[in-house]
């Protein structure tokens, strides 16, 4: 349950340690005095269902070669990011400092409040809706979530959702392959310890 991993959050910089850092140009400042009250779990793979490729990194860094795969044509000009990605091997890469607004949610709403990017943290899991996530990913996601809950008293386990929950007409991730019961029970246990 992620007992071997730990994460610390630098209050000044919003950086997650010991995550690898690659700061995306696709972020901006959150609205003034906006509390972080939501954690959104996503999935991503480019091309879909292919893992270990450089394309997700390139997309978030703003230099995806849309000629590299026919499915990338629809991504031309897209400016997106996430606070962090957890790869299949459990390694974590941070793309946006936590106190900044990542562009992960798109048109979205949570409990009647639109614009979820304003008040949320977005974490991407390298994966698809239908293929099981790896244990290494859960073993990173659980302690990372615990660190976020400890760092942000305005965030609670009850405010952890999937992208599909805040944009149900557009999104389906993290999908049926994501084991919400295992994850949330482990987070509750990890957060109590």
Position 193 pLDDT exceeds 70: no
Mean per-residue pLDDT for 50-64? 97
pLDDT of residue 1: 44
pLDDT of residue 121: 98
pLDDT of residue 190: 78
Q: Which residue has the higher pLDDT, 3 or 53?
A: 53
Tokens 């996601």, residue located = 141
The active-site residue out of 32, 124, 126, 185 is 124
Both tokens of residue 157? 């386990």
Position 2 pLDDT exceeds 60: no
Burial class (CB in 10 A: 0-12, 13-18, 19+), 80: buried
- Distance of alpha carbon 24 from alpha carbon 27, whole angstroms: 7
**In the chain, where the domains are located:** 8-31+38-192
**Band (5; pLDDT cuts 50, 70, 90):** confident
CATH number attached to the domain at 8-31+38-192: 3.40.80.10
Question: Whole-number mean pLDDT of the chain?
Answer: 96
pLDDT tens profile 103-144 = 999 999 999 999 999 999 999 999 999 999 999 999 999 999
Using alpha carbons, list the distances in angstroms from residue 54 to 17, 83, 126, 137, 181.
Answer: 22, 17, 12, 18, 31
pLDDT of residue 38: 98
Burial class (CB in 10 A: 0-12, 13-18, 19+), 185: middle
Annotated catalytic residue 124: yes
**Nearest CA to 26 among 64, 74, 71?**
64
């Amino acid at each position: 349950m992620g007992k071997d991993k730990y994460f610390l959050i630098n209050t000044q910089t919003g950086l997650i340690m010991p995550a690898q850092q690659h700061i995306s140009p696709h972020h901006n400042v959150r609205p003034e005095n906006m509390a972080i009250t939501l954690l959104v779990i996503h999935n991503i793979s480019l091309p879909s269902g292919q893992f270990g490729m450089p394309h997700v990194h390139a997309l978030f860094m703003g230099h995806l070669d849309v000629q590299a795969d026919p499915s990338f044509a629809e991504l031309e000009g897209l400016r997106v990011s996430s606070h962090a990605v957890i790869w299949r091997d459990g390694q974590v890469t941070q793309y946006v400092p936590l106190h900044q607004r990542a562009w992960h949610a798109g048109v979205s709403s949570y409990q009647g409040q639109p614009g979820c990017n304003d008040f949320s943290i977005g974490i991407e899991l390298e994966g698809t809706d239908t293929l099981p996530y790896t244990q290494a990913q859960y073993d990173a996601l659980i302690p990372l979530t615990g660190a976020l809950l400890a760092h942000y008293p305005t965030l609670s386990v009850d405010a952890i959702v999937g992208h599909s929950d805040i944009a149900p007409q557009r999104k389906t991730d993290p999908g049926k392959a994501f084991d919400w019961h295992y994850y949330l029970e482990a987070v509750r246990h990890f957060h109590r310890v």
